[in-house]
Amino acid sequence: MRSPIYRTTFSSFGSRYSSAGTAMQCTRADRLAGIRRYGAAKLCQVMMLRLEKDSKLSSISVLAVDPAAMPTELSHRDGWVRGVFLAQVVLRIVAAIIILFRPNDPFRTTWKSVGDVLYAVFETETLGSHPSGIYMNGSKRAKAGAESEDLRMREQLWCDSLGYVRATEGDTVLTEWR
């Protein structure tokens, strides 16, 4: 069973998304810390549905695509056996076999993930001509986590984002940005 500290990404907005125990901050060496931070970034992306409120931005589509874990050259610092042989040779073969049977598995090839992103961008028959508020798990439409539906959390993320960039009145053409 997963530890309860990893079930909620943003446990407290007063902590600016980084209180101990959340996905945004890890106080111990943890191999999955990057994956949790990636998940938190995807959550923030989905929560930006607030863009639709502004008349000047209402034509922007907000879609989140989870490309899954992929074997890449990012692990080259792990040494030859783990970073090159396992990550770039063995895992590429394993991923190619997995997607034949489970195309939206949590582990995919880079070409499959790139195809999924392109599908989300250009597919109009199933997603519509102006899709927005959609979360895709690979090429399959999926439901985002409950946190992404929380309007209070969305609004707080928006306000905090404005604070992070120190936005002022003359910085934006948005009409309803506060």
User: Domain segments of the chain: what residues?
Assistant: 4-70+108-171, 71-102
DSSP state of 142: E
Which has more confidence, 47 or 111?
111
What percent of the chain is modeled with pLDDT above 70? 74
Q: Is the model's pLDDT at 20 over the cut of 50?
A: no
Q: Choose, from 17, 42, 112, 135, the residue flagged as catalytic.
A: 42
**Residue whose C-alpha is closest to residue 32's, from 11, 2, 77:** 2
Among 38, 112, 135, 164, the active-site one is 38
pLDDT, residue 23, reads 44
First to last CA, the chain: 41
Condensed to tens digits (0 to 9), the pLDDT of residues 37-84 reads 777 777 777 777 667 667 777 777 888 888 888 877 766 666 777 777
Report the alpha-carbon distance of residue 112 to residue 95 in Å, rounded.
10
Task: Kindly give the pairing relationship between strand 63-66 and strand 140-142.
Answer: unpaired
Contact 72, 79 (CB under 8 A): no
Q: What is the mean pLDDT of residues 156-176?
A: 80
Note if 42 is an active site residue. yes
More confident site: 37 or 98? 98
What's residue 77's pLDDT? 66
142 C-beta neighbours (distance < 10 Å), count: 12
CA dihedral 97, 103, 109, 113 (to 10 degrees): 170
pLDDT given for residue 81 in this prediction: 78
Place of tokens 């879609």: 63
| Of the candidate ranges 31-45, 107-121, 148-162, the one whose mean pLDDT is the lowest | 31-45
Residue 160 CB neighbour total at 10 angstroms: 13
The reply to whether 119 belongs to the active site is no
Percent with pLDDT over 90 in the chain: 17
pLDDT, residue 19, reads 40
